[in-house]
Chains A and B, each alone.
Chain A
């Protein structure tokens, strides 16, 4: 038991060290990642200006004011910092295709566990180095935020972020596992990315979707990757709706943990080790 724990800690430490090597790139890259938001801010500024000029009296779009929109985009950056898993699915598929997945099969290392620790390590380092640029941007933009929400909201926000990390990880890991049956998953990945980008709320708050689209998107797990944490923090989702949302998010996390494990086991069973 102790040996197991030491193994995990070693893996964590190695991964952190590896990531720290690239810390120079980080700080500048992190700041640059906020640049597209600048354009969005101006776009929405123009939209709200037109709304105001039209004399309709409305001052919000789908319940979000201009300041809410900017705050929303900034918050989705945090959501993305937790839930995005670049290269996870394609990495797994590549390992399967090239045969290097064998090292997980013959060594006493659980592949999903290893990858999860690896990602956690990377994310931890990322947060450490990105904390300063993020704090700077949020401090500069503090007037767009309606002040600090109450403790329950903050707790719910943090919970939703941790769950979005797990959801993002196991969702993409499951997709990667499809590499056991199909050699090339890049087209599947692409479709996933498209859906994910649109339905996760990166482009706009999902409350904007009209008619049947709103409820349809709420059925999908993508909203928890960016929209849900942001909406929670801005207190657009409260009370029983909030509790329900968190419960459903947990449900999705459990579902994909099971899916990832199951597809891995099934995949290994029918895997013939090419290459490596």
Chain B
């Protein structure tokens, strides 16, 4: 019998336990799911309203109505995944640090980052995921475009990259509560940062827009999270020349580097961690 736990089996247990727990508080689960979907619905209404007045976002950018909805659905898929897998855990991680409960996590014979990041899965975000999928298929149908196998594989790959980058950002921010204490501002901060990634990066232009775009592409790479995969589905924006492939290549590198950076921050946080009396 191996000393190491099977990480896949552990994850499956986490997933199953979380599902059981969510189903136990079924009313809450339903309310949360409906709430998230309503919120998405409201935003969607807003965008539909905008498209009453214009055919495109940005001049000649290629982000017409259904292309924009493809972007939105990609965002939904990524954000709902991050929310389901990591948000509750990041929140709890800060609490664990604050209360000293992290001691018990450290004692377990499994990688602490794995445990802390995945122990609780929020299944109520699955509603948003399904919504995103439906919107995606519907938008593709409206555009009359069926992506080929290459595009689909690349799309899935970059969905994973997007989730990775957001995860790295989230866990690094949660880990920083070892040094910074109170974390309420942290999650406001998360919302403010990811808010910049809500729309196609083409909207950031001009004197202030371009530096902003640069910052959120290369320093805190939230802009590549949704933009890169979404472009694979929008025909006029798919990479044609070699230069076009630079951004996807960068996105891949950014995902790997973010993950490594988050691991580094996490481990440094563990080193600096001084338990509260537990």
A: which residues have CB within 8 A of B?
25, 28-29, 32, 35-36, 38-39, 42-43, 45-47, 49-54, 61-62, 186-187, 190, 194, 197-198, 203-204, 208-210
Contact = CB atoms under 8 A, between A and B. Distances in A.
Given A42-B204, A42-B209, A53-B60, A47 B35 contact: no
Interface of B: 31, 35, 38-39, 42, 45-46, 49-50, 52-61, 185, 188-189, 192, 195-196, 198-199, 202-206, 209, 212
B192 A54 contact: no
30 contacts: A29-B185, A29-B188, A32-B192, A36-B195, A38-B212, A39-B196, A39-B198, A39-B199, A42-B199, A42-B205, A42-B209, A43-B203, A45-B203, A45-B206, A46-B57, A46-B202, A47-B58, A50-B58, A51-B53, A51-B54, A53-B59, A54-B55, A190-B31, A194-B39, A198-B42, A198-B46, A203-B46, A204-B49, A204-B50, A208-B49
A203 B245 CA distance: 35
Contact of A197 (B42, B50, B195): B42
Contacts of B205: 42, 45-46
B37 to A, nearest CB: 11
Closest 9 CB pairs of A and B: A53-B59, A46-B58, A46-B203, A50-B56, A42-B203, A35-B192, A49-B59, A61-B53, A46-B57
Contacts of A35: 192, 195
A166 B203 CA distance: 38
Most B CB contacts (10 A, CB to CB) among A35, A52, A204 go to A35
Given A32-B192, A36-B192, A39-B196, A50 B42 contact: no
Contacts of A208: 49, 52-53
A174 B165 CA distance: 44
Given A46-B61, A46-B202, A46-B203, A54 B54 contact: yes
Most B CB contacts (10 A, CB to CB) among A25, A29, A39 go to A39
Nearest to B198: A39
A45 B49 CA distance: 16
A190 B189 contact: no
Contacts of A25: 185
A47 B53 contact: yes
A194 B42 contact: yes
B129 to A, nearest CB: 20
B199 A204 contact: no
A35 B192 CA distance: 6
Given A35-B192, A39-B195, A46-B205, 4 more contacts: A45-B205, A46-B59, A49-B58, A197-B42
Nearest to A45: B203
Contacts of B59: 46, 49-50, 52-53
Contacts of A36: 192, 195
A43 B46 contact: no
B66 to A, nearest CB: 15
A106 B77 CA distance: 53
A119 B35 CA distance: 28
A47 B50 contact: yes
Nearest to B42: A198
Contacts of B38: 194
Nearest to A58: B53
Contacts of B46: 198, 203-204
A50 B46 CA distance: 17
A203 to B, nearest CB: 5
Nearest to B197: A39
A28 B61 CA distance: 35
B52 A210 contact: yes
A255 B80 CA distance: 41
Given A42-B209, A46-B58, A32 B42 contact: no
Contacts of A50: 54-59, 61
Nearest to B59: A53
A25 B58 CA distance: 37
Contacts of B196: 38-39
A62 B52 CA distance: 11
Nearest to A32: B192
B276 to A, nearest CB: 22
B67 to A, nearest CB: 12
A35 B56 CA distance: 24
B167 to A, nearest CB: 22
Given A54-B55, A194-B42, A32 B189 contact: yes
A186 B31 CA distance: 10
Contacts of A43: 57, 199, 203
Contacts of A203: 42, 46
B38 to A, nearest CB: 6
Contacts of A28: 185
Contacts of B42: 194, 197-198, 203
Most B CB contacts (10 A, CB to CB) among A29, A39, A46 go to A46
